[in-house]
Structure 1
Amino acid sequence: MLNQSNSAHIMIVEDEMALASIMNDYLVASGYHCTHVADGAEVLETFHQVQPDLILLDLMLPNVDGITLCQALRQETDVPIMIVTAKVDEIDRILGLEVGADDYVCKPFSPREVVARVKAALRRQMRMTTPSLSGLKIDHETFSVTMHGVPIKLTQVEFRLLTTLSQNPGRVFSRDQLMDSVYSDHRIVTDRTIDSHIKNLRKKLGEQGEEWIQSIYGVGYRFEDNT
């Protein structure tokens, strides 16, 4: 999971284009990246492609409904799923939560409320997924890192790299994926730039830096907690 303040990726699953555009604008204004999907049949493929940090999921979708998608997504991911729908009956809300949704927002709603709920859901997810490593503590509220109680001074890019890798232990990230994660402005950088940041991050983490952040030849990097 990524730093929610300016790197988190939100997937908006909504077939009402005007509403999707409004949610996109408010979320982007709050510093998030967004991907929009209007067809239920395209949701799973898009999810695998973009690996979002949170999903805003409409129930009434063409081809595949939101409840079916929520069930399918929950079989392979624990990212927060927030259902956004015009179906206001209690049974619909209960069903949505029972199949794995984390929150439920009924239309019409305030876009600011949706943004606030997104922030809250990502904060909860961060607290749940912050890794417990030998002596290492990552505080996403203050954007600080300590090793055995001693502060480690990281740059913003180094903090994002450490967060991205450590919250996805075992997953191999290509350099392109890491560049997309740490540079919110999508600037053009080279592979060597990421390699340089990784080198500096390992050095700052000390003896365990090389053990935690492993190079995968010809691919990229992964985080391994063998403590």
Structure 2
Amino acid sequence: MSVSLPAPRILLLEDDPAIAGTVAFVFEREGWRVEQVLLVREADRLARADPPALAVLDVGLPDGNGLALCRAWRAGSEPRLRTLPVVMLTAQGEEMDRVLGLEAGADDYVAKPFSPRELVARVRALLRRAAWTPPPAAPAAMLELDGQRAWLGGRPLDLTRLELGLLQALWRAEGRIRSRSALLDEVWGPDCEASDRTVDTHVKTLRAKLRDARPDLDPIVTHRGLGYALELVSRTPPR
């Protein structure tokens, strides 16, 4: 006998009535439940009391910023908020807006004015990804880090200090995109005068070493114009 799953509940933080009405309409037409709020503090209160399946956050609100709210969730101690799928609504389509949203921990962004069909497609993809539980991976697919060393599939990786730092920075992001500037600050230091090309070069050599250990994996994914993300079959926590 099949069991019907409850409709996913989506938290919508948007203070523009026209936009909020349109988003709520297309979401409810998909069978999703929508809980719309106008203020950052109200969205935070509701999410902490009962985390939704997904949150859509506007950037500029009367009492704060959706980016700051997303960043607080990601840095907090509530596991369901640390992994809550988040879509940012930005007023502009500039690259910096996208980078800020992704660095705050958002999973995706949509720039205003946006197509409701595109927003629905992006939300549907995130809900599907969040609901999917991957099968247990074979031990050979695991990446292990202990601060000074790294292994992939049980094989030790011969990494330089910067390659190891880069791998750790990507690994800690849990599959989210890290921009080149963020990786430069974290791995090379904020005072380093290196360029984005430095990151690209080290990613290239790190990629080659990971492929030597597991030729069937290509774990570092390039997101053109945004940065890099680490996507592995399986992960183990730091020792």
TM-score (norm 2): 0.50
Deviation at 1:48, TM superposition (A): 2.1
**1:69 aligns to 2:35 (yes or no):** no
Residue identity matched to 2:114: F
Name the SS for the 1:35 alignment partner. Answer: strand
Structure 1 or 2, whichever has the larger Rg, is 2
Provide runs of 4+ in structure 1 moved above 6 Å.
Answer: none
Q: CA RMSD in A?
A: 2.1
Change (3 A) 1:7 1:131: farther
Residue identity matched to 1:40: V
Change (3 A) 1:94 1:50: same
Q: Distance in 2 between matches of 1:4 and 1:122?
A: 16
Change (3 A) 1:13 1:47: same
Name the SS for the 1:36 alignment partner. Answer: strand
Q: Distance in 2 between matches of 1:56 and 1:5?
A: 21
Change (3 A) 1:99 1:49: same
Matched residue, 1:46: 46
Deviation at 1:131, TM superposition (A): 8.1
Question: How many percent identity over aligned positions?
Answer: 41
**1:102 aligns to 2:104 (yes or no):** no
Q: Give matches, 1:5-24, under 5 Å.
A: 7-24=7-24
Matched residue, 2:223: none
Name the SS for the 1:51 alignment partner. Answer: coil
- Asked if structure 2 preserves the Cα contact closer than 8 Å seen for 1:85 and 1:105, the reply is yes
- Asked if structure 1 preserves the Cα contact closer than 8 Å seen for 2:13 and 2:37, the reply is yes
**1:27 aligns to 2:32 (yes or no):** no
Change (3 A) 1:130 1:17: farther
Q: Give matches, 1:171-186, under 5 Å.
A: none
**1:119 aligns to 2:124 (yes or no):** yes
- Asked if structure 1 preserves the Cα contact closer than 8 Å seen for 2:15 and 2:39, the reply is yes
Q: Give matches, 1:79-98, under 5 Å.
A: 79-98=84-103
Residue identity matched to 1:69: L
Structure 2 unaligned segments of length 5 or more: list them. Answer: 137-239
Q: Distance in 2 between matches of 1:57 and 1:92?
A: 14
Deviation at 1:40, TM superposition (A): 1.4
Change (3 A) 1:44 1:130: farther
Q: Distance in 1 between matches of 2:4 and 2:33?
A: 10
Matched residue, 2:156: none
TM-score (norm 1): 0.53
Q: Give matches, 1:115-154, under 5 Å.
A: 115-127=120-132, 129=133
Deviations 1:78-105 (A, max 9, x none): 1100001213221111011011000010
